[in-house]
Amino acid sequence: MVTPMDPTSAAFMLAENRNQPMHVGGLQLFRRPDDAGRTFVRDFYQDMIQERELSPLFLKRPQRSLATAGQWVWTEDTQFDIEHHVRHSGLPKPGRVRELLELCSRLHGTRLAPERPLWEATVIEGLRDGRMAMYTKMHHALVDGVSSMRLLQSVLSTDPDRREMPPPWAVQPAARGVAPEPASTDHHLADLPASAFRQALGITADAAGIAGALARTVSRGVRNETSALSFYAPRTILNTNITGSRRFAAQDWPIERLRGVGKATGTTINDVVLAMVSGAMRTYLTELGALPDTGLVAMVPVGLNAKQAQNASVDGGNAVGAVMVKLGTDLADPADRLRAVHRSMTDGKEALGTMTPLQILAMSAIGLAPAVLPPLLRMSGFTRPPFNLIISNVPGPRVPHYYNGAELVGMYPLSIPIHGMALNITCTSYAGRMGFGLTGCRRTVPRLQLLLAHLDHELSALECAAGL
Amino acid sequence: MVTPMDPTSAAFMLAENRNQPMHVGGLQLFRRPDDAGRTFVRDFYQDMIQERELSPLFLKRPQRSLATAGQWVWTEDTQFDIEHHVRHSGLPKPGRVRELLELCSRLHGTRLAPERPLWEATVIEGLRDGRMAMYTKMHHALVDGVSSMRLLQSVLSTDPDRREMPPPWAVQPAARGVAPEPASTDHHLADLPASAFRQALGITADAAGIAGALARTVSRGVRNETSALSFYAPRTILNTNITGSRRFAAQDWPIERLRGVGKATGTTINDVVLAMVSGAMRTYLTELGALPDTGLVAMVPVGLNAKQAQNASVDGGNAVGAVMVKLGTDLADPADRLRAVHRSMTDGKEALGTMTPLQILAMSAIGLAPAVLPPLLRMSGFTRPPFNLIISNVPGPRVPHYYNGAELVGMYPLSIPIHGMALNITCTSYAGRMGFGLTGCRRTVPRLQLLLAHLDHELSALECAAGL
């Protein structure tokens, strides 16, 4: 059966090349249940690949030929092989997080086989602390990154004793026979996991519409029409052509520490996140001898955190959009940088347009941004990049979740670097911790993993500056 | 720099599709040196990916576009990324050979990225017996399987104390500045590693010529013109269309045991190899309820073993060719099957044509056979398959070899199944052991790994029948 591919998905297929693989990823860390036996991970994996009914999303593959008049279409994979898509790997010794991140970097730097359904999942064991991990990869033509993250979350449960839970690619018991609800554009963020999940399985979606709205908003942001400030970003090493080599780094910190800094300084948790990135980037670029004289500018989708108690970047309401934030990397003092970020955010938010939460979610680096940005970045008239990097902050569940008894203890999205935008930083909160996921081109952004130590150092410096 | 691709290589690029990836593989097992520290494998890997001069063979990638008028050409990869090609993996627990074979099956079932140089190597740790492994994969358009095996061997040394040995993809110190010797077609087998290696690096080669000669010889074999016997092979599950899923199984046995059976029964080691396969296939097909009434026929390239003392299948001389061997799978008694194989080989060899050793090597399932067989298998006039499977026996080094202090303790080639020929068995002798490598389509040849136990059982049965 052949079905047409919507224009946004087709655009992702066409935009893909060796240097710009168009898939998003997710890294999930799990703690084994206390009663786990020696074969727990193997059994966990074996259960995942057992025969079951799969969602159509995970069975369709892209096709383009003379028969389709050169157009991309979806067709069902009649030779679907679950063992190609779901894999079981071990880590080399000594099994530190470093080895895990190296594996994720490699997996994320490899293109999906275009003749098969566009997804993979790898169950990873061998972390010396006994945790296990799952890296999941989905092509952006199949599902946007946010829906992908929500999809992974949607199969989890808050009940540690629940078992026989199906994997994300299976038809979910709850979803069977349920007609999709009418599309709504004014739902609250709390509704998003379910609706995004429906969208992921419903496929039709209004992705094209979102992309258009997104393009208009980003364009406004890029032209500084949304901001009282008028400025452009400096040239940096981040804003050049990239290669296909990827480096992924991830780490998390207690949200309590970020909240502490925010309370003591009258700033938000999101401000503290941005100040951490600012200080880390300043140190990183200084060491490379590549720090520009003027401060870096980040595109920050805001409103993601509305009504999420632990992230108060938008104080209630539905006013959301993208803010161009001056990170203050030209300032030597951590407290000055935090103040600069806070002021820039405050100014920027005053001029925000309105978008639905789903559109804002879609704007992040794991969302539709990779589809919308390239033409904007190529727009004539820019002698300097409109901004230097994207920093997104996507809220996740606040309480611990479990999958067949294994507790999810961390999750980090892997995004899509593109030409002109070699580094993305995507944060997710989960169960009291703020996880940072850094995805970059390994050659354009050398030794990207150093940023983790710099982020850690910067949080301490901010605490010190706040008198904590 | 763009260079044309020779017709044989181009044929491999064109023949490749999802169900028939056209790469050969090699699995090498190493024992760590006695003084190896905890970081031995990591250091081993790090050394392999350090910057050094690479052979042009490992830097070129295939390209086909409007600019090349739709023809396949070679072009140098200007963004070569060694970390994409050379990887470091761990095995899941419990780290048995089973987990290693599962990883190799998966790696061998995945196509090489066509936009990059067509090779990969994976350093594998995590075997519970402490050994480490290397799986290497090269596209058949780059180098034929035999040259690939020889290339891997050529960098080894008999000296356990030698260090700072370069990996196979580096420009070898000995090769630098040495002009290629004039082509010779009458060299002895002992010369092959060096000449095949030169061929691999020299590229030009007479591959097209070999393919032609090979096609004529195989065609003769297929038409039974080389044999006094006139028969065709039965239909079996092995002779149908295949999928892209691969299963690889490997194991080795002491050559002394095979020699013992041969001496006691007046047969050759190669006869015993074929009888082991015969008995194993009989048991395997019987369990599936798929054993044909008439015996299976194997295409067996012979002469590979000439002048190799431990493999006396051809008694001196240069008379070599492909023999269609009746395996006697219709016979219930192991001794009867061995006798049938021996008689079939003896009859077949009497009618052999002449080919050079290199041509014979090239005929094996890891050689040019995957290029030559498909058109032959499609030849009109055959209502039944001309033969059921390919069994090759390629001699390797007789004494232990080392790579930077690590002893090579086993090596097994992974070949290319094609439509109509779902299973290949390639044996290699090394340091007193006969290694069997079985490569098949996982769906056409279900539970292929069972054949290992059947092979083991059959060797015992043959010893018993021989009164040992």
**pLDDT in single tens digits along all 468 residues of chain A:** 788 887 777 878 888 888 889 998 999 999 999 889 999 999 999 999 998 899 888 999 999 888 888 888 999 999 999 999 999 999 999 999 999 999 999 999 999 998 999 999 999 999 999 999 999 999 988 876 667 777 888 889 999 999 999 999 998 765 444 433 333 333 333 333 333 433 433 323 334 444 555 555 556 555 555 443 445 788 899 988 899 999 999 999 999 999 999 999 999 999 999 999 999 999 999 999 999 999 999 988 765 343 332 333 333 323 335 678 899 999 999 999 999 999 988 877 665 544 444 555 556 666 666 766 666 666 534 556 778 999 988 778 899 999 999 999 999 989 999 888 899 999 989 999 999 999 999 999 999 999 999 999 999 999 999 999
Q: A468: which residues sit within 8 A by CB, 6+ positions away?
A: A260, A261, A264
R_g over Cα of chain A: 21
Instruction: Please report the pLDDT score of residue A178 as a whole number.
Output: 40
Structure tokens at A284: 């990183």
Q: Which residues contact A417 (CB under 8 A, 6 or more apart)?
A: A20, A242, A246, A423, A424, A439, A440, A441, A444
> What tens digit of pLDDT does each residue of B356-407 get?
445 555 566 666 667 666 666 665 345 567 789 999 887 788 999 999 999 9
ipTM of model over 0.90: no
**Is the Cβ pair A243, B79 closer than 8 Å?**
yes
Whole-prediction pTM value?
A: 0.82
Query: For residue A420, what is the DSSP state?
Result: T
Q: Which residues of B touch A92 (CB under 8 A)?
A: 41-42, 45, 88-90, 125-126
Asked if B116's CB is within 8 angstroms of A111's CB, the reply is: no
Cβ pair A407, A453 in contact under 8 A: no
The per-residue pLDDT for A14 is 82
User: Residue A266, class by beta-carbon neighbours within 10 Å (0-12 exposed, 13-18 middle, 19+ buried)?
Assistant: exposed
Q: Which of A84, A105, A131, A242 to mutate to test the interface with B (most CBs of B within 10 A)?
A: A84
For the CA atoms of B332, B333, B335, B337, what is the dihedral angle to 10 degrees?
0
Determine the 3-state secondary structure of B224 from DSSP: coil
Rg (CA), chain B: 21
Whether the per-residue pLDDT at B314 is higher than 60: the answer is: no
Q: Using CA coordinates, name the residue in chain B closest to A114.
A: B18
What pLDDT does residue A211 have? 54
Would the CB atoms of A244 and B17 count as touching at under 8 Å?
Answer: no
Q: Which residues of A touch B (CB under 8 A)?
A: 17-19, 38-39, 41-42, 45, 79, 81, 83-84, 87-95, 99, 102-103, 106, 109-111, 113, 115-116, 125-126, 243-245, 442-443
Contacts of B84 in chain A (CB under 8 A): 106, 109-110, 244-245
**And the tokens for A85?**
């898509």
> Which of A296-310, A441-455, B20-34, B114-128 is predicted least confidently?
A296-310
Of A424-433, B136-145, B224-233, B424-433, the one with minimum mean pLDDT is B224-233
Order of strands across the sheet with A389-395? A246-254, A433-441, A423-430, A389-395, A297-302, A321-326
Select from A41, A92, A95 the Cβ nearest to the Cβ of B92. A41
Question: For residue A413, which of A254, A269, A303, A252 has the smallest C-alpha distance?
Answer: A252
Mean pLDDT for B296-309 is: 62
Q: What is the model's pLDDT at position B12?
A: 81
- Alpha-carbon dihedral angle through residues A65, A70, A73, A75, given to the nearest 10 degrees: -10
Verify whether the Cβ–Cβ distance A245 to B81 is below 8 Å: yes
Interface test with A, best of B17, B79, B107 (most A CBs within 10 A): B79
- The answer to whether the CB of A390 falls within 8 A of the CB of A248 is no
| B291 backbone dihedrals φ, ψ, rounded to 5° | -80, 120
B174 vs A168, more confident: A168
Residue B38: pLDDT over 60:
yes
A26: closest CA among A146, A161, A141? A146
- Could you report how far apart the first and last alpha carbons of chain A are, in Å? 62
Q: With contacts defined as CB-CB under 8 Å, which chain A residues touch B41?
A: 92-93
Mark whether B342 is an active-site residue: no
Res B406: pLDDT:
96
At B424, list the tokens: 């290949």
The pLDDT value recorded for residue A70 is 82
**Residue of chain A with shortest Cα separation from B85:** A106
Element (H, E) at A464: helix A450-465
B252-275 per-position pLDDT tens digit = 999 999 999 999 999 999 999 999
Domains annotated for chain A, with CATH where assigned, are 2-171 (3.30.559.10), 209-395+416-465 (3.30.559.30)
**Phi and psi dihedrals of B421, rounded to 5?**
-145, 80
pLDDT of B443 reads 93
In this complex, the residue of A41, A83, A89 whose CB is nearest that of residue B89 is A89
Helix locations, B129-268, DSSP H: 145-154, 192-202, 207-222, 255-265
Please state the rounded mean pLDDT for residues B235-247: 91
Q: Give the residue from B216, B148, B189, B178 showing the smallest Cα distance to B411.
A: B148
Report the C-alpha gap between B260 and B314 in whole angstroms: 18
